[in-house]
Amino acid sequence: MKITSVDSFFIGIPYEHGAPKPVLPTADGRTTQDAVYVRVETDAGIVGWGEAFGFGACRMSHLAIQRVVAPLAVGRDPTDIPTLMTDLFRRTHGMSRNGPVAYALSGLDIALWDIAGKIAGKPVHALLGDTKKQRIPAYASLIRLDTPEYVRRVSATAISRGFRHIKLHEREVATVAAARETIGPDVALMLDTNCTWDFRRAREMCDLLRPYNLTWLEEPVYPPDDFESLARLRRDSGTRIAAGENLGNLMDARHAFATGALDIAQPDLAKMGGITEIWKLIGEARAAGVEVEPHSPLFGPALIATLHVIAAVPEDILCEFYFADLEANPLGPMASPKDGFFAIPNGPGLGLSVDESLLSKYRID
């Protein structure tokens, strides 16, 4: 079997009228929810779908698929995933250890797993393991809201939709206090600061945040790969530290584990090598005694791939759900949890069908 084409679709979906919207646009000024879908076609007529990360990097990931990945992948055998992916990562090693080329290759890997499942007539999670799970709990990952009033309103909405785990993207104690007051003591609350503090400030904030009983504190320091500071913060404060969405590859993860930086690793399969690499990372995290909660604030095939990975592992893992209402989704309702849970996709491959008319409608270029 041969790959005959690798196509990229850069789309931007507007938020539904009246839904919570991000306070800040992305780095390139966009305020829609953007995504990069990858479509891989084979000479056997089988089509696989993937997704490359994401947010402000979409345009670069889109270009990387078109200019770097597609020319290298067309003509190759899609059925031997380790050989193909290892070869492409090696040939691009000067630009694929992290960043948009790694994201583009991740999108290809996900599409290859979709193809593998379709050939086998099995869902991807069955290729990885033997799931005992009936459904997957989701956590509501709130967009950055910035004021206690806004946090109260959106937290209450998440609770009313059945979520029992809520993550904030805030930076002030008052906003965390507002969320805890709204959701009560029994709902899990997490805080993601997106690398906002230096070590000293982060250490102070750990003490100030203690009354709000955070399940984890995510990416408290800049830069994200300052594993030594994270390890020191963990040790000195006793706060449970989560990070890993900015890991570029498995070697980064090994370094983080060896440094003692993490209670919880948060790899993103749309960034660090697709299903192939996240599966290796989960095994190494297990051996290192580090929990895994994948990063997946996405709405496309990478979110569905994350559900397959979570379905296949024995551990209880939450799936991150970016809590924002979009006016449409090319994957339909499977990309949204119901009453706080995602259904496990059981069709062959990723088990998704893409409404390509919506890819056309929302296409940016």
Residue with the two structure tokens 């800040």:
24
Q: Which is nearer to Mg ion, 114 or 192 (CB)?
A: 192
Q: Which is nearer to Mg ion, 9 or 216 (CB)?
A: 216
The H-or-E segment that residue 320 falls in is strand 319-323
Shortest reach from residue 123's CB to Mg ion, in Å: 27
Binding window for Mg ion (CB under 5 A); candidates: 11-19, 73-81, 190-198, 322-330 = 190-198
The H-or-E segment that residue 139 falls in is strand 135-142
Distance CA 310, CA 305 (A): 9
Q: Which is nearer to Mg ion, 41 or 226 (CB)?
A: 226
Q: Which is nearer to Mg ion, 245 or 252 (CB)?
A: 245
Tell whether residue 192 is a contact of Mg ion (CB under 5 A).
yes
Shortest reach from residue 195's CB to Mg ion, in Å: 9
Distance CA 64, CA 81 (A): 19
Distance CA 84, CA 90 (A): 10
Q: Which is nearer to Mg ion, 49 or 197 (CB)?
A: 197
Cβ proximity of 261 and 221 under 8 Å? no
Shortest reach from residue 245's CB to Mg ion, in Å: 5
Size of the site for Mg ion (CB under 5 A): 2
Distances from the Cα of 56 to the Cα of 33, 112, 315, 335, angstroms: 10, 25, 32, 21
In the complex, residue closest to Mg ion by CB: 192
Binding window for Mg ion (CB under 5 A); candidates: 202-210, 242-250, 268-276, 316-324 = 242-250
Strands (E), 151-227: 165-168, 188-192, 214-218
Question: Does the bond joining 223 to the residue before it have cis omega, within 30 degrees of 0?
Answer: yes
Shortest reach from residue 219's CB to Mg ion, in Å: 6
Q: Which is nearer to Mg ion, 192 or 263 (CB)?
A: 192
Binding window for Mg ion (CB under 5 A); candidates: 26-34, 191-199, 316-324, 335-343 = 191-199
Binding window for Mg ion (CB under 5 A); candidates: 188-196, 199-207, 272-280, 341-349 = 188-196
Shortest reach from residue 191's CB to Mg ion, in Å: 10
Shortest reach from residue 320's CB to Mg ion, in Å: 8
Binding window for Mg ion (CB under 5 A); candidates: 34-42, 82-90, 148-156, 244-252 = 244-252
Shortest reach from residue 105's CB to Mg ion, in Å: 22
Binding window for Mg ion (CB under 5 A); candidates: 66-74, 203-211, 243-251, 342-350 = 243-251
Long-range CB contact pairs, 94-100, < 8 A, 24+: 95/68, 97/248, 97/249, 98/246, 98/247, 98/248, 98/249, 98/252, 98/271, 98/272, 99/57, 99/60, 99/248, 100/52, 100/57, 100/60, 100/61, 100/63, 100/64
Shortest reach from residue 143's CB to Mg ion, in Å: 12
What angle do helix axes 173-183 and 199-209 make, rounded to 10 degrees? 30
Q: 178 — phi, psi (to 5°)? A: -60, -40
Q: Which string of x and - marks every residue 91-130 that binds Mg ion (by CB under 5 A)?
A: ----------------------------------------
Strands (E), 223-267: 241-243, 264-265
* Chain residues in the site for Mg ion (CB under 5 A): 192, 245
